[in-house]
Structure formats: C-alpha cells, structure tokens
C-alpha cells in the first residue's frame, strides 16, 4: 500500500500524471497471484451480478463466490461505490483488498468488471472540496449522505475522478481477470450553479461564435430576450426560449461526455486493449443525448428494471433496441432486478419463471450479458428491501435456483450465439432533440413521444419480428423501411440525409409532428415537414390537439372488410396534397369542421423509393393497418414466420449462423409450427413443432446460412 500525504502528489492531472506517478513509484503492493481465465470474447454470453465485497468480512468472500460459481455466474461488477474503502483518506490508497477479491473470484472462474467509484465520493472529499458538490436548481448545494452529489462540470472534481480512475487502472489495467470497466454509475444529476452557468455560456460562445448569430437563431427579440453579453444568458430547464432549452440539454450531454472522457483517458492508456469500457445507461431516460455520450465507449450497457408490474415486451424490448442503436452493435444488461426492486410504488416480484424469460428476451434483443443487481442483501444501507440472489443470512433466495438454471442454459447456448447479432430490415428513428422539444411544448399533455414511438414499434415488430431503433443521423441504406415517429426536430443535414435515403430507393414514413423544428428548436419557415415538404408533394396546413378521438376513413389499400371504426386519438394534422402524384391514404371523418374530409395520411413514390406522412396519432387498430401497409409496400419479410399471440420471436444471426429464441410471454400454453425443421439447442434434438408453457423458452438453430 502506498500512502501519499501531500494532496499535490495525489492530485496530479493530465500531462503531469505520468511524471507524478513515476515519482511516486508504485511498488511494494502485496500481489496475490491471479490465474489467467478466459477473456470475455471467448464467452459470448455472460451471466453476472453486482457484488460488494467491501461490505462483508473477507472470510465470507469465498462462500459467496462458490455460490456464484455454482449458479454459472461468469462475472461480478465490483467497486462502483467503494471509493471510501479504496481511498479512506486523501492519498491513502487501499487496493490490496480489491486485488484479493479479484484473485479469489478468478479461482472460482469468475471475471471482473471494475466500476470507477465516482458516483459516490467519500465524505472527506466533499468536506475538503465543497465546491465539487452539485448545486440544485433552487441554488442549494447537494450534500453528503446519499450518492451523485458531485458536480459533473466541476474541474476540481474531474481531477479527483481522474486520479482514482488512474490509480485503479494502474493497478488493474493488466490484471488478466479484469475484463472491463464501468465508468461511474447511471449519469443523471446536473448542477446549476454560477460556475456551471459560466461554462454553459462559454460553450454557447464556441457554438454560435457571435451574440448576433445566437440572437438571430433564437429569435431573442421575442419578449426582449436579446443578449448583449454572454454572461447575461441564463439556464432554463422547462419553460424558456426553445433555443435556450435545447442548448442547455446539448451542453448537459457534451458535459457528460467530457466527464466520462476524463475517466476513459485516465484508464485507456494503462489498460489492456481487451478490457472493454462502458457505462450503465437507463433505457428511455432522456436527461442527456445518449448518442453523444456513447461515442467514446467500446460497449453500450443499460440497467433494465421493470419496477412495478411485469415485463412489457414492447416497451422493454424497444429499450433494448434503443440501447443496441447507441453503438449499432450488441450491448450488455449491466443491471437487472432479481425478482423485485425497492423503489416502485408497489415492489411486486416478477412471477416464477419470468426472470428467466426476461433474460432470454434480453439476449434475443442483442444483450451479450445479463447481470443481476445485487448479489446479497446488505445488512444496512438505503436498499435493504431490494431483491437479491442471496439473503442477508448468506443462503440462496428462492430465485437463486432460477438464475442457476439460466447459468446452465447460457453455457449450452453460448457457442451457437457466438458472433451473432440482431439484423433488421426496418429502422425506427429516435431523436433526443425531438423528444425534448415535444415534452417542453406537448400541446396535448397526453401526447408522450415515447408512447408515440411505441405505437409504431408494436405492430411493426409483431410482423417483422426484428426492429432497429437508431439515431436520426445513423446510416440508413441497409433498411427497406425507415419510420420516424414524431421527428419534430430535423436539421438541414438530417433532412438531406433522409432525402438521399428516399432517392436511393428507401421508404421513409414520417409520423405526426415531424419536420416542424430546426436545429435550434425554432420553427422551420416552411410548413411541416419543413425541408421534406417538397419531396412529399404535400404539407401540414394546421395541427390540432384533440380533446376527443376523431374518426378516420380509409384502409391503406388493404381492402379490409371490417366495419370497426378507426380513430385519430390525441393529435390530428390537416394535410394537403400539392403534387399530382401524391396519394391520399387516409381521411378524417366528421370532426371540428376544419378536419372534416381532409387528408390524414399521404404518400408519394419517388423513383424506386417512397415518402409517406401520417399526420395523426392513430389508435392501435388503425396503426396495425398502417404498419401492414408500410411493410408490404416496402417488401419487408418476417424474420421467422407467423406465431400465436404471446409468443415472442427473437432472431440473431451472423458468423454463418441463424438462431431464433422463442419465449412465451402470454398467459396460455401455445403450440408453434416452425417454418422448417430446426435444432432445439436447450433440449437437444430436431423439431418442426413445439409447445411452450407460459414463460417457457426455446432456442432454435436453423440450418446454417
Ligand atoms: C397573454 C399575454 C400574451 C400571450 C398570451 C398567450 O395574454 O399577454 O403576451 O402570452 O397570453 O395566450
Ligand atoms: C440503479 C443503481 C443501483 C441500484 C439499483 C436499484 O440501477 O445503479 O446501484 O441502486 O438502481 O434498483
């Protein structure tokens, strides 16, 4: 153990770090021999758990690791809240315990993901450096006692974070049993103090160059907001100039990115290339732009909690697809609930079998790891009631056996899934700017942009059985169909990209509220869909928030014989057709007079491509008809084939393999006819027809591709 007493020794930063450390000469640390273990790449399907050895007597560790090994657990994530144990006083580093925990895990064939502990700065730190505390929106500083009390933009805190991350990397960056790093934990809380505001103003200056440009782009003549000095610009988070609101969120995102990059830079040069670097994100959380923050990571990961209720395969499945889209490759579920959580209104447990079903649903959507938070109930601390795999008494909870079954199954299926990922013919475009812009000005309080996205996702996925959710700036040429629900903010560059996609033969479907705003959250001077209106050969004449559903008429060319009425629910746009070859797919019935008989959805062929605009939020039945039309018109094929309701199909392919995971998330036992004979990997044998009980799972390998 090295004890450095002077703060300037412990706090060397950036370029100085190597110099400082060579002076410190980190020798003499007691080393525990670590046997080499398989690298993550050799184990393509990982089962993990969050373990907190610092909370338990060392004599107990072996028993815990033994139980983990018996459950088939491959890795533990450790350290992410252990700063006060790693550095109990400033400059007094204690890593020997961590090294012994890693070595003992290796003896049980359990690998380690190390978390940097920066989401939980120790009390001595906040006491000595109170300026590192985040300032709440009401101007009060946060305080010690919980976690995430640090200020993400504070330079002093960055030095401290860099230091602890570097010390960890220097010690464990070449440890053969450490497979990766998690930076911090669930980025979420910003700071609103005078220094943050100053940094925001500097950031605005680098973005806009001159105040004239900013004033023009934000139309600050409105309500006398014109700025004559950068230091006049405030922070607004909910009701402010839309340009100001959007820029604050972009600043928040860039600042999380640089907060994270500071730690990546501390680790990467001192870590083996095989050690991955990730962080645990939070699904639909929109506190920052995840595309911005993901770009410096080698792997995307998220914490997948159901909370109250049960697994919703649509909302949760789409969150997986969203996370897969951050880096457009497989991802990890870094945390998920072992049965139940402690923070919902009612913390009901998932049913018996549901945890296993959920893990396969995760893998089906492209997760290469599923990790349970947390291993054992702590004896004290804020989360005593949370679900675990082992009780406070140190013996397995009832759920342990179900996770152990997963461990056996993961081992069996891993070779078939190696090198496979999710391939889709359909993409849904997702944009944080658009979500923020709508949420700041919903116009109909019931209109939720995530729900709107899911209203498209649900029927599209039911048919196609695989969907990508990607940034509106992602490459699109591989998709037969690209759907953009409520793509409210469309920059000039994005518009050009979408136009090129259509001209290249793709089918672009824009949902209501699309193409209204520009890159500064200002209104496009053209009517919606703004820069895409010419290509569409039609536009939005007026939008209407609906206080009651409005009937819509038309069948998307499906010649459906049903007499059930169809409705626009929360939002209706009165469309018009300008070009002679733009067709009307749907019209409004009797309504407010303005909408009566007017077009609600229009489409236009553009060479081999097509652009469609759906100007209303549609009820589920109408959306299903719309989805069928989109898929048929675009030539999208089903990934597997028809299955009974309740059966979820998840295709994964690559490396010459084609694997289907089937999970019964319905309430009834179902029989599935396979499109061809396949190998049942879990049960060994060839099958052409199979029966699945509720929550049951099967993994099928089709003939090699
Ligand atoms: C008030 C204000 C106006 C405008 C309208 C909007 O009447 O005086 O400036 O904000 O509300 O309805
Ligand atoms: C989050 C955190 C964990 C834990 C869980 C509880 O995911 O990252 O530390 O608090 O919630 O559900």
Percent of the chain with pLDDT over 70: 93
Residue 516's region, left for phi above 0, alpha for psi from -120 to 50, else beta, is alpha
- CB-ligand 2 contact for 126 (6 Å cutoff): no
pLDDT tens figures, 129-165:
999 999 999 999 999 999 999 999 999 999 999 999 9
Give me the sign of the Cα torsion angle 58, 62, 68, 72: positive
Residue 82 CA to residue 77 CA, distance in Å, equals: 12
- SS3 of residue 617 by DSSP: strand
Average per-residue pLDDT in the chain? 93
Integer CA distances (angstroms), 487 to 62, 282, 433, 633, in order = 53, 21, 9, 21
Nearest CA to ligand 2 atom 5: 373
pLDDT tens figures, 77-129:
999 999 999 999 999 999 999 999 999 999 999 999 999 999 999 999 999 99
Tell me the CA–centroid distance for residue 358 and ligand 2, in Å.
Answer: 18
Residue 457 CA to residue 450 CA, distance in Å, equals: 10
Average pLDDT rounded to a whole number, residues 470-480 = 97
Tell me the CA–centroid distance for residue 543 and ligand 1, in Å.
Answer: 20
Q: Which of 80, 90, 335, 670 is catalytic?
A: 335
Res. 270: pLDDT tops 50: yes
Total residues found in the chain within this entry: 705
Least confident of 22-31, 489-498, 515-524: 22-31
pLDDT at 16 (0 to 100): 37
Residue 368 CA to residue 417 CA, distance in Å, equals: 9
Question: Do the Cβ atoms of 427 and 483 come closer than 8 Å?
Answer: yes
Residue 256 CA to residue 152 CA, distance in Å, equals: 7
Q: Which of 80, 90, 159, 186 is catalytic?
A: 186
Res. 39: pLDDT tops 90: no
Res. 507: pLDDT tops 50: yes
Average pLDDT rounded to a whole number, residues 380-388 = 97
pLDDT tens figures, 234-245:
999 999 999 999
- CB-ligand 2 contact for 341 (6 Å cutoff): yes
Q: List all residues 6 or more positions away from 655 whose beta carbon is below 8 Å from its beta carbon.
A: 418, 419, 420
- SS3 of residue 151 by DSSP: coil
Q: List all residues 6 or more positions away from 701 whose beta carbon is below 8 Å from its beta carbon.
A: 416, 657, 658, 659, 678, 679, 681
Average pLDDT rounded to a whole number, residues 676-704 = 95
Integer CA distances (angstroms), 370 to 76, 85, 208, 468, 641, in order = 11, 27, 43, 20, 27
- CB-ligand 2 contact for 185 (6 Å cutoff): yes
Ligand 2 closest atom vs CA 343: 12
pLDDT at 13 (0 to 100): 38
- SS3 of residue 145 by DSSP: coil
Tell me the pLDDT band of 351, cut-offs 50, 70 and 90. Answer: very high
Res. 25: pLDDT tops 50: no
Q: What share of the chain is helix, strand, coil (3-state, %, to 5)?
A: 35, 20, 45
Res. 10: pLDDT tops 90: no
Average pLDDT rounded to a whole number, residues 296-313 = 98
Ligand 2 closest atom vs CA 335: 7
Closest of 517, 521, 544 to residue 532, by C-alpha: 517
Residue 208 CA to residue 205 CA, distance in Å, equals: 5
Tell me the CA–centroid distance for residue 386 and ligand 2, in Å.
Answer: 9
Q: Is 462 a catalytic residue?
A: no
Average pLDDT rounded to a whole number, residues 186-192 = 98
Alpha helices per DSSP H over 466-566: 492-503, 533-536
pLDDT at 44 (0 to 100): 85
Q: To test ligand 2's pocket by mutation, which of 383, 385, 387, 389 has the most ligand atoms within 8 angstroms of CB?
A: 383
Ligand 2 closest atom vs CA 342: 12
pLDDT tens figures, 568-577:
999 999 999 9
Tell me the CA–centroid distance for residue 489 and ligand 1, in Å.
Answer: 25
Tell me the pLDDT band of 556, cut-offs 50, 70 and 90. Answer: confident
Query: How far does the chain reach from its first CA to its final CA, in angstroms?
Result: 55
Integer CA distances (angstroms), 437 to 493, 522, 587, in order = 18, 10, 27
Q: Exposure pattern of 371-410 as b/e (b: 16+ CB <10 Å)? A: bbbbbbbbeeeeeeebbbbbeeeeebbebbebbbbbbebb
- CB-ligand 2 contact for 386 (6 Å cutoff): yes
Tell me the CA–centroid distance for residue 240 and ligand 1, in Å.
Answer: 15
pLDDT at 204 (0 to 100): 98
pLDDT at 397 (0 to 100): 98
Residue 644 CA to residue 225 CA, distance in Å, equals: 58
Q: Within a 13 Å sphere around the CA of 50, how many CA atoms are in the beta-carbon half? A: 24
Tell me the CA–centroid distance for residue 309 and ligand 2, in Å.
Answer: 18
Q: Which ligand neighbours the alpha carbon of 148 most closely?
A: 2
Average pLDDT rounded to a whole number, residues 425-439 = 98
Beta strands in 460-499 (DSSP E): 468-471, 481-484
Residue 604 corresponds to which tokens in the numbers above? Answer: 């236009």
Q: Is 186 a catalytic residue?
A: yes
pLDDT tens figures, 539-552:
999 999 999 999 99
Beta strands in 80-206 (DSSP E): 111-115, 178-182
Res. 32: pLDDT tops 50: no
Tell me the pLDDT band of 7, cut-offs 50, 70 and 90. Answer: very low
Res. 11: pLDDT tops 80: no
pLDDT at 567 (0 to 100): 97
Q: List all residues 6 or more positions away from 445 whose beta carbon is below 8 Å from its beta carbon.
A: none
């Amino acid at each position: 153990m090295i004890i450095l007493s002077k703060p300037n020794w412990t706090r060397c930063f950036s370029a100085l770090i190597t110099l400082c450390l060579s002076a410190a000469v980190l020798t003499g640390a007691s080393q525990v021999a670590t046997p080499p273990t398989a690298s993550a790449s050799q184990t393509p399907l990982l089962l993990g758990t969050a373990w907190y050895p610092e909370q338990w007597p060392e004599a107990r560790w072996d028993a815990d690791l033994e139980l983990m090994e018996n459950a088939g657990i491959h890795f533990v994530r450790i350290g992410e809240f252990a700063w006060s144990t790693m550095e109990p006083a400033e400059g007094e580093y204690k890593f020997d315990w961590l090294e012994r925990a890693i070595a003992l895990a290796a003896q049980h064939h359990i690998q380690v993901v190390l978390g940097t502990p920066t989401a939980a700065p120790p009390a001595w730190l906040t006491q000595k450096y109170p300026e590192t505390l985040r300032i709440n929106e009401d101007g009060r500083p946060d305080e010690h006692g919980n976690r995430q009390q640090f200020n993400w933009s504070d330079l002093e805190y960055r030095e401290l974070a860099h230091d602890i991350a570097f010390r960890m990397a220097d010690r464990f960056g070449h440890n053969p049993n450490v497979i990766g790093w998690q930076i911090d934990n669930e980025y979420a809380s910003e700071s609103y103090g005078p220094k943050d505001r100053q940094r925001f103003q500097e950031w605005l200056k680098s973005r806009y160059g001159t105040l004239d440009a900013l004033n023009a782009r934000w139309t600050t003549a409105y309500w006398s907001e014109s700025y004559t000095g950068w230091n006049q610009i405030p922070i607004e988070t909910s009701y402010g100039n839309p340009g100001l609101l959007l820029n604050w969120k972009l600043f928040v995102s860039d600042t999380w990115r640089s907060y994270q990059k500071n730690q990546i830079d501390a680790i990467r040069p001192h870590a083996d290339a095989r050690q991955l670097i990730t962080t645990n994100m939070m699904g639909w959380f929109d506190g920052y732009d995840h595309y911005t923050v993901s770009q410096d990571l080698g792997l995307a990961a998220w914490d997948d909690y159901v909370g109250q209720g049960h697994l919703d395969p649509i909302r949760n499945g789409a969150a997986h697809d969203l996370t897969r889209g951050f880096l457009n490759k497989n991802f990890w579920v870094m945390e998920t609930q072992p049965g139940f959580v402690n923070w919902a209104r009612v913390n009901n447990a998932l049913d018996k079998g549901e945890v296993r079903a959920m893990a396969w649903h995760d893998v089906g959507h492209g997760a290469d790891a599923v990790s349970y938070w947390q291993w054992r109930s702590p004896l004290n601390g804020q989360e005593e009631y949370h679900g675990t795999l082992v009780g406070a008494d140190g013996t397995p909870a009832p759920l342990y056996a179900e996770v152990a079954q997963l461990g056996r199954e993961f081992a069996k299926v891993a070779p078939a899934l190696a090198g496979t990922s999710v391939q889709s013919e359909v993409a849904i475009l997702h944009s944080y700017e658009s979500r923020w812009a709508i949420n700041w000005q919903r116009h109909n309080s019931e209109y939720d942009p995530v729900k709107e996205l899911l209203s498209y996702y649900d029927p599209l996925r039911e048919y196609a059985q695989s969907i990508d959710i990607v940034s509106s700036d992602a490459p699109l040429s591989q998709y037969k169909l690209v759907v953009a629900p409520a793509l409210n903010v469309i920059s000039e560059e994005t518009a050009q990209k979408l136009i090129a996609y259509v001209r290249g033969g793709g089918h672009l479907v824009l949902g209501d509220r699309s193409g209204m705003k520009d890159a500064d959250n200002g209104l496009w001077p053209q009517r919606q869909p703004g820069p895409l209106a010419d290509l569409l050969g039609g536009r939005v004449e007026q939008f209407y928030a609906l206080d009651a559903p409005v009937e819509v008429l038309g069948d998307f060319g499906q010649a459906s014989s049903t007499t059930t009425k169809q409705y626009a629910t929360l939002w209706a746009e009165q469309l018009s057709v300008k070009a002679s070859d733009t067709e009307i797919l749907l019209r409004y019935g009797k309504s407010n007079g303005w909408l009566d008989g007017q077009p609600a959805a229009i489409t236009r062929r553009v060479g081999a491509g097509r652009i469609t605009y759906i100007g209303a939020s549609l009820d589920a039945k109408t959306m299903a008809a719309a989805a069928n039309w989109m898929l048929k018109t675009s030539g999208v094929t089903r990934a597997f084939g028809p299955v009974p309701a309740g059966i979820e199909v998840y295709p994964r392919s690559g490396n010459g393999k084609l694997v289907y995971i089937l999970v019964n998330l319905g309430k009834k036992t179902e029989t599935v006819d396979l499109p061809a004979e396949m190998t049942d990997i879990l049960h060994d044998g060839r099958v052409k027809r199979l029966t699945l009980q509720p929550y049951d799972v099967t993994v099928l390998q089709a003939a090699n591709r």
